[in-house]
Amino acid sequence: MALERGITTTGTLGVLVEAAQAGLIQIETVLRRLRDTNFRATPGLYERALEMAHQRPPVYPRRKKE
């Protein structure tokens, strides 16, 4: 529904990536702790989050309706 209305969306990992890019968190530590919870994501998503967190200039993981 949000995408249909033109609202940009970001998931949990996307928010963490943006926080890491802004220097607010250490992404490696946060992702390690997140894995110890009931949060579920594929290993590939965790790896992609790490890659995106270290990209310069920042690449924000947001989705828009195509």
pLDDT confidence of residue 3: 77
As for how many domains the chain has, the answer is 1
CA dihedral of 32, 47, 40, 4, whole degrees rounded to 10: 130
Residue 63 pLDDT > 80, yes or no?
Answer: no
Residue 61 lies in a domain: no
pLDDT digit string (tens) for 1-58?
777 888 888 899 999 999 999 999 999 999 999 999 999 999 999 999 999 999 887 7
Residue 66 lies in a domain: no
Residue 19 lies in a domain: yes
Residue 34 lies in a domain: yes
pLDDT confidence of residue 61: 65
Mind giving me the DSSP string for 11-23? -HHHHHHHHHHTT
Work out the pLDDT band at 62, boundaries 50, 70, 90: low
Domain region containing 44: 12-53
Residue 58 lies in a domain: no
Residue 45 lies in a domain: yes
pLDDT confidence of residue 4: 84
